[in-house]
Every structure is written in structure tokens, then in C-alpha cells.
A = this chain, B = another copy of it.
């Protein structure tokens, strides 16, 4: 929420995907690795309301007290996220297909989403 790349590119793009393609599950992750005191759940709630974010947003859990140093939250560590915004695409089986830090071109993202939508799922 205090990351310019997220506010300018990542979040608006996720909002357009969520609005245009109801069969794509869009989930946000509020992953905080610094400035914890001003980016807590209360601030996040206001941000999501003011910026009109309607898709669900999870909060990345810290298993080490962030006050103890620059510790990274659990999901950020698990996926090796190097910063924000990071876009991750998963197929219908839950496999991670694409991971990118920074701006993703709309056309390129669309083609990847279209291929994932067209691919058979676990129940096909």
C-alpha cells in the first residue's frame, strides 16, 4: 500500500483482471517487510476501501517478531519474493506457472491467463 509500483501498476492491473475475468481467482497478498508500524491491518483496510480493491487480500504472517530485525514474512520467504509488486500465476492444479517482480505488460499477462483458462483442470 506504500509501494509506488503496487499502487501505480500492480493493483490497478489486478483490479482489471478481477473485473473482466470472473473465472480467474484474483487474490492479493499484503506482504510487509519494512515499515510495519504504519502498514498494519487498520491502515490496509482504509487503503483497500479508498482505492476500491474488491478482491480478497490476505496478510502475510510473520513467524519471527519483525521488531527483531528485517525479517521477511512466511509467504514471501516461501515463494522467494524479492519485493513488491510481484505477480504470480497458478494453473488450475495450483502449480506456479509465472512469477515476476515489477510491471507486467497487459498483453503478455492476458496471453498467459488465456492459456491457463483454456488448459484442462484436475476435473476435466
Q: How many residues of A contact B (CB 8 A)?
A: 38
Q: Is the CB of A107 within 8 A of B20?
A: yes
* Cα A5 to Cα B73 with chains together (Å): 30
The contact string, 1 if C-beta is below 8 Å from chain B, for chain A 1-16, is 1111001100001001
Which among B39, B42, B114 is the interface contact of A115 at CB below 8 angstroms? Answer: B114
Work out how many copies of this chain go into the complex: 4
A105-119 interface (Cβ within 8 A of B): 105-119
Q: Closest B-chain residue to A118, C-beta based?
A: B118
A residues lining the B interface (CB < 8 Å): 1-4, 7-8, 13, 16-17, 20-21, 35, 37-40, 42-43, 46-47, 50-52, 105-119
Between-chain CB contacts (< 8 Å), 23 pairs:
A4-B50, A7-B8, A13-B107, A16-B107, A17-B107, A20-B107, A20-B111, A35-B50, A37-B42, A38-B40, A38-B43, A38-B46, A105-B106, A106-B106, A107-B107, A108-B110, A110-B110, A114-B114, A114-B116, A114-B118, A115-B115, A115-B118, A118-B118
